[in-house]
Amino acid sequence: MLEIEKEFIITREQKERLLKKAVFLRKKTFQDIYFDDSRYSLTTKDWWLRTREGRFELKIHRFEKDIDVYDELDDMSDILSAFELHDKTLEDFLKEKEIVPFIELTTERESYEIAPFTIEFDTATYANGFTYSSMEVELLVNKAETSAEEGAEKIIKFAEQYEIKREPVLGKVLTYMKNYLPDHFQVLETANILSPLQYDSQL
């Protein structure tokens, strides 16, 4: 399965219009901690290793025709395989490679559904008090049935129904990095991780 997601900047009126058609799913709060080493070995590959509520997840991002596509690994055996770890634990690997936390944030999320789309409204709060609010539309597709490009087009057409335009958005992690971790952010720019500019995932 592929998760295709787009983040949008919306007005209060647009949100109200969406919620009139949406089915409420859940509200939850969770903590994310993102990891990398001092050489930024993971994020310069566009690999985003994090713990969510203490459980490791790995999001491997790539662009396909300017579309954000993620392989999401939340099973430990899959994460170990991605790192080609066959005889050690992930914790031992992180210690050996000096991979440590570089961002910690707590997110309050409200999730809704307008099938087949999931709509999430997030407010993220960081350790230094910075906050970031966003809306994201997600679509989970079967790789054998729907291409990433087709899935992204469905999301964009869905947004257009509510007069929501797609604009360049960095998302909650990269926005924080741009403001408070400028050296790390600059390295990602140099590595073309932020190209094209329409890098619009929350991560």
pLDDT digits (tens, 9 = 90+) for 42-83: 999 999 999 999 999 999 987 765 666 778 899 999 999 999
Sorting pLDDT into bands at 50, 70 and 90, what band is 200? Answer: low
The 10s digit of each residue's pLDDT in 110-164 is 999 999 999 999 999 999 999 998 899 999 888 777 787 888 889 989 999 998 8
Which of 158 and 196 is assigned the larger pLDDT? Answer: 158
Q: What is the pTM of this model?
A: 0.85
The span from the CA of 130 to the CA of 125, in Å, is 6
The span from the CA of 137 to the CA of 139, in Å, is 7
The 10s digit of each residue's pLDDT in 25-34 is 999 999 999 9
- Beta pairing partners, 139: 4
Let me know: does 10 contact 166? Beta carbons within 8 Å. no
Let me know: does 170 contact 202? Beta carbons within 8 Å. no
- Beta pairing partners, 36: 100
Looking at the chain, the whole-number percentage of residues with pLDDT higher than 90 is 64
The span from the CA of 132 to the CA of 104, in Å, is 13
Q: What is the pLDDT of residue 63?
A: 72
DSSP reduced 3-state for 53: coil
User: How many degrees, rounded to 5, is the angle at CA 71 between CA 181 and CA 137?
Assistant: 75
How confident is the model over 187-193, as a mean pLDDT?
89
User: What's the token pair of residue 54?
Assistant: 């203490």
Let me know: does 148 contact 64? Beta carbons within 8 Å. yes
The type of residue at 65 is K
Prior bond of 168 cis (ω within 30°): no
The 10s digit of each residue's pLDDT in 11-27 is 889 999 999 999 999 99
The type of residue at 110 is E
